[in-house]
Structure 1
Amino acid sequence: MYKRILVAIDGSETSEHAFDTALQLAHDNDAQLQPLYVIDNPLMAYDASGYDPTILRDAFVEEGQRLLADALAQMKHENVAGVPRIVDVAPIGEDISERIRISANEFNADLLVLGTHGRRGFKRLFLGSVAERVVRSASLPVLLVPSRQAQTTAADAARPAQTEAAAAPHELSR
């Protein structure tokens, strides 16, 4: 079904879960997988004395290389083809979501996989959501993978209701 899958990774548990999902989809569909690490270039205070913005960027590059090496090792273990990629956000007029969308187009992806933290309400409004912005601007299918924590919380929330429902017939028989 899908032949070219792009998955954004950032080292978080949520993106690891998204990568695992994308890896399984790529394996099952004999698809190419491109793990993507995006380096954000926040506005730098160049006039601050002693400030060297390359130190921060170099740290991001190092983290990205480590994450992509791990991803490539897992891809090889699962016999999934593809080449991981590190990209930079353009300094002016671009954000992470835009860079992900552009990278998906450059890769000619037919599926984009992203992790989502599942924030709601004020937290989502204040922090924004890369996944939401990608979905709003994407021209290809986007699979949003919730964090394992969100899945556990949802499962835990469902359990008491099931227990109460199962206990109700017993109470009625008395």
Structure 2
Amino acid sequence: MREVYQKILVAVDGSEQAHNAFLEALSVTRRNSGKLFLLSVADTSHLAGEPYAVNYAMDAAKKAADGVVENLKEKIPEDVDYTIIEAEGNPKLKIIEAAEELKIDLIMMGTTGTGTFSRLLVGSTTSYVVNNAPCNVMVVR
């Protein structure tokens, strides 16, 4: 385990678990005088069908992701250095991609996300990230 985490990525999706991970990430970032990367992914990985329906669903997913970020952004203290990253696609892949590109030291995320089906799979995104991340992952309840 590393002594100091300088680049902390927290993945958020509006769930209670993600909010808890966000709060823990703030604490870790401050304790390590690091930089926080707040990642929100509009999940468009399951969209298929009529172009109109896909566009509507993509817009809705993006709007929901933007709302999550705006809510959390207000809670970041002024002394915390942070960057907001908004992406579209498959959350599990986007988290790994961001961690690799930014050379993240620690990924923090909740146990499960917002989807009912995801909960049945007991955090499939979290499991994927834990098994594929290029760095340590902290899973927060």
**TM-score under structure 1 length normalisation:** 0.69
Whole-angstrom distance in 2 between the partners of 1:31 and 1:10 = 22
Structure 2 CA distance for aligned equivalents of residues 125 and 66 of structure 1: 25
Larger RCO: Structure 1 or Structure 2 (Cα < 8 Å, ≥ 6 residues apart)? Answer: 2
Distance 1:11 1:124 in 2: 14
Structure 1 residues 126 and 132, CA, compared in 2 at 3 Å: closer, same or farther? Answer: closer
Give SS of 1:74's match.
coil
Partner of 2:40: 37
Whole-Å Cα distance in 2 between the matches of residues 19 and 103 of structure 1? 17
Give SS of 2:75's match.
helix
Shift of the 128–19 alpha-carbon distance from structure 1 to 2, 3 Å rule, reads closer
Find the aligned partners of 1:65 and 1:124 in 2 and give their Cα distance.
Answer: 22
User: Counterpart in 2 of 1:88?
Assistant: 88
Paired residue type of 2:31:
D
Indicate yes or no: 2:22 matched with 1:19. Answer: yes
- Is 1:55 the counterpart of 2:56 in the alignment? yes
2:47 touches 2:54 (CA, 8 Å); kept in 1?
A: no
Count matched residues: 132
SS at 2:40 equivalent: strand
CA RMSD of aligned residues (A): 2.0
Matched residue of 1:52: which SS?
A: helix
Whether the 8 Å CA contact 1:6–1:104 is kept in 2: the answer is yes
Distance 1:43 1:25 in 2: 35
Report the counterpart of residue 6 of structure 1 in structure 2: 9
1:43/1:64 CA distance change after superposition, 3 Å: closer
For the pair 1:138 / 2:133, whether they are aligned, the reply is: yes
Equivalent AA in structure 2 for residue 28 of structure 1: R
TM-aligned CA deviation for residue 125 of structure 1 = 7.0
CA distance in 2, matches of 1:115, 1:34: 15
Question: After the TM superposition, which parts of structure 1 deviate over 3 Å for at least 4 consecutive aligned residues?
Answer: 123-128
The alignment partner of 2:36 has SS state of strand
Residues in 2 aligned to 1:142 and 1:30: alpha-carbon distance in whole angstroms? 19
Deviations 1:139-158 (A, max 9, x none): 20000111xxxxxxxxxxxx
1:26/1:136 Cα in 2 relative to 1: closer, same or farther (>3 Å)?
A: same
Q: 1:40 Cα shift?
A: 1.6
**More strand per residue:** 2
Q: Which has the higher helix share?
A: 1
CA apart distance, 1:19 = 0.5
Segments of 5+ residues of structure 1 without an aligned counterpart are 90-94, 118-122, 147-174
User: How many percent identity over aligned positions?
Assistant: 30
